[in-house]
Amino acid sequence: MSKRQLAMVMDLNKCIGCQTCTVACKTQWTNRNGRDYMYWNNVETYPGHGYPKNWQESGGGFDAAGDLQPGKIPNIESDYGVPWEYNYDEMADGKILTPHQEPTWGPNWDEDVGAGNFPNDNYFFYIPRICNHCTNPGCLSACPRDAIFKREQDGVVLVDLDRCQGYRYCIAGCPYKKIYFNPKLSKSEKCILCFPRVERGLPPACSQQCVGRIRFVGFLDDKESQVHKLVNEYKVAIGLRPDYGTTPNIYYVPPVFSPNKFDENGAPIVESSRIPDAELEKLFGKEAYHQAKKTILAEHKKRKETGESELMDLLIAFQHQDMFRLDTNYYHDVAKAEGKKALAPVDNRYSKGKFTKFTTHYKVGH
Ligand code: SF4
Ligand code: SF4
């Protein structure tokens, strides 16, 4: 168990699928050194096959008895998609822009492909996904080398690259398929929740850049943080696929404000939703989803009638900086107690590893 848990809440009612978060993460961490095909942050259209393809059916996680389940290791070509280049130089000779190789699959391949029939049952929505920094990580349990660890200070799940031998049991063990094999280094790599930024009081790059202001970041035990309020007080932010048994620490406000259905006269049916409850029950668990939905709709109604609702104010996020409550002093004190230089990464096995260079263009407070 970690002493504290850093967590993120994503409000799916506000995600516009712009992929700014994806690009922020990719340019920060994965556009080089064998990580090119990886998307530590991706945004997929639901319903859809997702990334990697059909990850929800690829096994891993734990059964009700707590036993680790067998899982599949996705194939780079057929399940992730090999990154392709374009013939930019040839365009000067009048050729049209084409990929250098025939693409067969890739992240976001089925973007905006919904389900159901127009005009009443068609729907889709976006789900941004990163590693869930689970309390009970399938990747960690599956690793025979003890190369995956959960930081005591904040619950961030990391790979010790010096110990990892690239066996890939972790990839099979993660039911979200959010840990990847780096073929150049023969190591497994994953989202690090931008811990070098977080320790300096900066939110992860995906959250800082989020255009829709859907991402809240903070410690679950910090009663002043919006993450705490949304997860523990209002209980409107819930984990994805709780049935996988890993207890994720990335939470979602389910999409309860979808477009209305229409009656026979073409008028919108108030409070109807095109997204089937059954799909959201599958993603978030029946009880937790319905409790969240009830609270959100009740607070929405209250806000309309009285003009007041703390929950609606939180979700609107008038000030972007209010969405993040990080604690630089906490990391500073932990480092000091351990006799380390203030603000040095609490655990430097990853940041000082041979394979990861950390750079920041931001200053604290900006
Ligand atoms: S989402 Fe997967 S990779 Fe991330 S901590 Fe959970 S089991 Fe491990
Ligand atoms: S940047 Fe924000 S709004 Fe845009 S796709 Fe990512 S999570 Fe959604």
In b/e form, how buried is each residue of 298-318, taking b as 16+ CB within 10 angstroms?
ebbeebeeeeebebeebbebe
pLDDT tens readout for residues 36-70: 899 999 999 999 999 999 999 999 999 999 999 99
305 alpha carbon – ligand 2 mean position (Å): 30
Residue 320, sorted as left (phi over 0), alpha (psi -120 to 50) or beta, turns out to be alpha
For the CA of 14, the nearest ligand: 2
pLDDT of 359 reads: 39
Please, are residues 182 and 188 in contact by the beta-carbon 8 Å criterion?
A: yes
pLDDT tens readout for residues 119-162: 888 999 999 999 999 999 999 999 999 999 998 889 999 998 88
Tokens 């255009």 locate to: 211
Once rounded to an integer, what is the mean pLDDT over residues 328-346?
72
**Mean pLDDT lowest for which of 187-196, 202-211, 300-309, 330-339?**
330-339
Once rounded to an integer, what is the mean pLDDT over residues 313-326?
95
Distance between CA 130 and CA 28 in Å, rounded? 14
pLDDT of 366 reads: 30
pLDDT of 342 reads: 54
β-strand partners of 218: 7, 325
Distance between CA 345 and CA 244 in Å, rounded? 31
Given pLDDT bands bounded at 50, 70 and 90, which one contains residue 354?
very low
Percent of the chain with pLDDT over 70: 93
> Quick check: CB of 157 below 6 Å from ligand 1?
yes
More confident site: 363 or 209: 209
Distance between CA 111 and CA 89 in Å, rounded? 28
pTM: 0.92
> Which CATH number among 3.30.1240.10, 3.30.70.20, 3.20.20.10, 3.40.33.10 corresponds to the domain 6-351?
3.30.70.20
Once rounded to an integer, what is the mean pLDDT over residues 174-200?
93
Say which DSSP state 197 is in: H
> Quick check: CB of 174 below 6 Å from ligand 1?
yes
**Ligand 1, atom 4, residue with closest C-alpha:** 131
Which residue in 226, 187, 147, 176 sits closest to 71, CA to CA? 176
pLDDT of 348 reads: 52
Distance between CA 130 and CA 195 in Å, rounded? 14
**In sequence order, what are the residues at sequence separation of 6 or more whose Cβ sits closer than 8 angstroms to the Cβ of residue 161?**
147, 185, 187, 189, 349, 350, 353, 354, 355, 356
Q: Is 326 exposed, middle or buried (0-12, 13-18, 19+ CB in 10 A)?
A: buried
- Closest ligand 1 atom to residue 190 Cα is 3
Q: Can you read off the two tokens belonging to residue 128?
A: 């941004």
Please, are residues 296 and 236 in contact by the beta-carbon 8 Å criterion?
A: yes
- Closest ligand 2 atom to residue 43 Cα is 5
Sequence spans of domains, the chain: 6-351
309 alpha carbon – ligand 1 mean position (Å): 35
Backbone angles phi, psi at 311, to 5 degrees: -60, -45
For the CA of 2, the nearest ligand: 1
**Mean pLDDT lowest for which of 91-95, 172-176, 307-311?**
91-95
Answer whether residue 363 shows pLDDT above 70: no
Please give the C-alpha separations between residue 162 and each of 151, 183, 353, in angstroms, as whole numbers. 16, 16, 7
Given pLDDT bands bounded at 50, 70 and 90, which one contains residue 349?
very low
Which residue in 253, 248, 250 sits closest to 218, CA to CA? 250
Once rounded to an integer, what is the mean pLDDT over residues 175-183?
96
160 alpha carbon – ligand 2 mean position (Å): 29
**Ligand 2, atom 1, residue with closest C-alpha:** 210
Given pLDDT bands bounded at 50, 70 and 90, which one contains residue 352?
very low
Answer whether residue 256 shows pLDDT above 60: yes
Distance between CA 254 and CA 286 in Å, rounded? 12
Please, are residues 134 and 191 in contact by the beta-carbon 8 Å criterion?
A: no
pLDDT tens readout for residues 264-297: 898 988 888 899 999 999 999 999 999 999 999 9
pLDDT of 101 reads: 84
Q: Please, what sign has the CA dihedral across residues 296, 302, 304, 309?
A: negative
> Quick check: CB of 40 below 6 Å from ligand 1?
no
pLDDT of 48 reads: 94
More confident site: 230 or 102: 230
349 alpha carbon – ligand 1 mean position (Å): 19
pLDDT tens readout for residues 16-36: 999 999 999 999 888 888 888
220 alpha carbon – ligand 1 mean position (Å): 18
For the CA of 20, the nearest ligand: 2
CA 16, chain centre distance (Å): 15
Q: Is residue 81 helix, strand or coil?
A: coil
Given pLDDT bands bounded at 50, 70 and 90, which one contains residue 357?
very low
